[in-house]
Amino acid sequence: DPLDEEFPAQGLVELQDVESGDMLVAPGYSRRFRGRYRDYFSRLQEEWEDGLRRRNIEVLKLRTGEDPAPELIGFFERRRLR
């Protein structure tokens, strides 16, 4: 989801940790904060994908703002040809 990749550039954003209930006020107006968030999300994504690949689990990336059909068709076609 693009909203996961890019932190909104909108004033102060109040966030809550779903596990601990802790609250955080994030400065969405700060370019530095948004850059650090983008870097963090990118590293998290890479670690997730690396872990899947180490376990021989295929990665299929879908985006919420796009039609998933072409990606799904390609994914299953590649699997069928193996």
Instruction: Please tell me the distance from the alpha carbon of residue 11 to that of residue 14, in angstroms, as a whole number.
Output: 10
Please give the torsion angle defined by the CA atoms of residues 8, 62, 41 and 52, in that order, rounded to the nearest 10 degrees.
170
Average of pLDDT values for 61-81? 92
Q: Quick: pLDDT tens for 33-54.
A: 999 999 999 999 999 999 999 9
Residue 25 has pLDDT above 90, yes or no: yes
Residue 55 has φ and ψ, to the nearest 5°, of -100, 10
Give percent of the chain above pLDDT 70: 100
Predicted local confidence at residue 6, as pLDDT: 86
Residues of the chain with pLDDT > 90, as a percent, come to: 67
Q: pTM of the prediction?
A: 0.70
